[in-house]
Amino acid sequence: MGRLDQNPAILGNRVELQLLTTLRCNLKCSYCSLGVGDVLGSQRNITYSLDALDAFIATHLSGHEIYVTFYGGEPTLNLDFVTAVMQRHPRFRFQMQTNGTLLDRLPDWVLGRLSNILVSIDGGEKVTDGYRGRGIYGRVLKNVNAIRGRVGGTLTARVTWSSADTGFEELDRLTQDFDYVYFQFVAQDGAYSADAVAKKREVIARLVGEFFSSQALYPFIPIMGTVRNKVLPSRALELYAGMTQCRASTHMLNVMPDGKIYPCPDLMYLPEMLQGDVVGNWLKRSPLQPHPDMPCEDCAAFAYCRRNCMKNLHLAYVKGDTGYRDRVVEPICDLVRFLGEEVDRHDPHAWFARMPLSVREQVAGCAVYEYVEVMP
């Protein structure tokens, strides 16, 4: 479908082409969303040709600004494909999401072409090693610091905030090794007991307090994004065509190793989520769209959250999984509202007005916003 269609497949001027280089992984994180429906490990190799990918891009993405995210599985396990795509499309922007254990294998020229590297980590050493394996935390930080001077862009810690034991100190510590820290509340049953939610609230309050008391930018993407959306609300509408901050609705295409395309990497086990196919050279609009059953527009956080996770909303309210809604989605929404309330307590408009131009520019237009949802 072209850009002049009444119902275009891609909304806005940008498109994120998230290429899953393989569904193999050298770790077995206990909460991995690709484990649902036995997706993880099911497709080990790319089975479509680069010529087919080129034809798909020419047909459906012409005229859009394209940025590619190499994803998996663990994308560094198929480095040949990564380098082939980079060499074939030198004008594209490139990012990688990785567990960080094999970063030391990447050639300097590849590192130099990456505008951002999202490194998965779960907070501190005890929690990370508990989910990922003994010694993984230290290995990842060693690799991050070894490549720091060779990366063309930024290094971002991508924290899946799952454990109630993840405290302020563990998250704050990551600012020493990464340019930015992004945290996402885990979509896992059992993670949101009353005690766990109370602990997360305490940590959020401390992070927000540190953000507003710091003389420099405290580089936590969810807090930066919340401030941006409150101070500059038009930015939330501009990037996402006024729809939703979840890129799965508007301009993110997850391409499986076999060429099948899905809007959300967490829902590739659902046949009804199929959105396109590189081999068949077809694409339709994402099936993850705002729905009347979603309660978002009546929520106090809607102006800055804007449906931050369409997967959660779809499963909880459209498919009607009330258990998932009550035990996962609504506690996450409560935490997002709490984050916004904590930001408001510090008067973000006054803070933004007195900060130096360099900080204001990062809050307003940080490039990492394009790679992760602004909200957690």
Query: Tokens 């003389």 — which residue?
Result: 215
Q: What architecture (CATH level 2) is domain 15-370?
A: Alpha-Beta Barrel (3.20)
CB neighbourhood size of 264 (10 A)? 24
What are the two backbone dihedrals, phi and then psi, of residue 25, each rounded to the nearest 5 degrees?
-150, 145
- Pairing, β 260-262 against β 252-255: antiparallel
pLDDT, residue 39, reads 54
pLDDT, residue 3, reads 42
Residues 6+ apart with CB under 8 A from 307: 243, 244, 245, 246, 249, 290, 294, 296, 313
State the Cα torsion 93-33-74-94 to the nearest 10°: 0
Cα 169 to Cα 346: distance, rounded to the nearest angstrom: 21
Q: Where are the beta strands (DSSP E) in the chain?
A: 14-20, 65-71, 93-98, 114-121, 154-161, 180-185, 252-255, 260-262, 276-277, 282-283
Both tokens of residue 79?
């480095």
- Pairing, β 282-283 against β 276-277: antiparallel
pLDDT, residue 26, reads 72
**pLDDT per residue rounded down to tens, the chain (376 residues):** 444 456 689 988 889 999 999 998 877 666 555 544 455 556 789 999 999 999 999 999 999 999 999 999 899 999 999 999 999 999 999 999 999 999 999 999 999 999 999 999 998 999 988 888 899 999 999 999 999 999 999 999 999 999 999 999 999 999 999 999 999 999 988 999 999 999 999 999 999 999 999 989 999 999 999 999 999 988 877 766 667 778 898 999 999 999 999 999 999 989 999 999 999 999 999 999 999 999 999 999 998 888 889 999 999 999 999 999 999 999 999 999 999 999 999 999 999 999 999 999 999 999 998 888 777 7
Cα 182 to Cα 373: distance, rounded to the nearest angstrom: 9
State the Cα torsion 24-27-28-29 to the nearest 10°: -120
Nearest to 171 by CA among 123, 110, 242, 217: 123
DSSP string, 18-30: EEE--S--S---T
CB neighbourhood size of 321 (10 A)? 16
Cα 326 to Cα 293: distance, rounded to the nearest angstrom: 15
Q: Are 61 and 52 in contact (CB under 8 A)?
A: no
- Burial string for 118-139 (b: 16+ CB within 10 Å, else e) reads bbbbbbbbebbbbbbeeebbeb
Counting Cβ atoms within 10 Å, is residue 215 exposed (0-12), middle (13-18) or buried (19+)? Answer: exposed
Three-state SS at 157: strand
How do the domains of the chain map onto residue ranges? 15-370
Cα 83 to Cα 70: distance, rounded to the nearest angstrom: 11
pLDDT, residue 1, reads 41
Counting Cβ atoms within 10 Å, is residue 318 exposed (0-12), middle (13-18) or buried (19+)? Answer: middle
Cα 151 to Cα 174: distance, rounded to the nearest angstrom: 18
Cα 163 to Cα 128: distance, rounded to the nearest angstrom: 10
Q: Are 262 and 273 in contact (CB under 8 A)?
A: yes
